[in-house]
Amino acid sequence: MAIATRRDDDDPDENHEINVTPFIDVMLVLLIIFMVAAPLATVDVPVDLPASTARPQPREGEPVYLTVQADLSLTLNQAAVTRQTLAAELARATGGDPEERIFLRADKGVPYGELMEAMNALRDAGYLKVALVGLEAGAR
């Protein structure tokens, strides 16, 4: 017993392909929606970075602290330094070992760009191991 798949009275010009035009229209509309919505998802959010819930790491020996104060002056451990003398003072404080970790502290009011300048100065001096120092979350 055979099943007929085509009747003689059907229109032979009937097209059985998928019409992709509505699909393309929907995709273009979605593309526009995502292009408009993506910048809105990256809006600046006010952040209070200094507090951290991370456990303090054990220290080997006496750490070297570089502090960026609110007036943008630099302090290496307890001595004030300038950006020009930073490399020489770091070499003296670390015994010339660029593998030693430098702990970078900054006041809350220091602009992010100034903090990056301090990190760039450390990198230019050859110190690539930099740890950012913050308050413990419960110590506020």
Q: Which domains does the chain have, with CATH numbers?
A: 64-134 (3.30.420.270)
H or E stretch covering 123: helix 112-124
* Selected residue with higher pLDDT from 60 and 33: 33
Is the pLDDT at 89 greater than 50, yes or no? yes
What pLDDT band is residue 129 in, cutting at 50, 70 and 90? confident
pLDDT digits (tens, 9 = 90+) for 39-83: 766 544 444 455 666 676 666 677 888 888 888 888 888 888 888
Question: What pLDDT is attached to residue 42?
Answer: 58
**Hunting for tokens 């070992």 — which residue is that?**
97
Is the pLDDT at 29 greater than 90, yes or no? yes
| C-alpha angle 84-90-94 in degrees, rounded to nearest 5 | 170
Percent of the chain past pLDDT 70, that is, above it, reads: 71
0.75 cut: is pTM over it? no
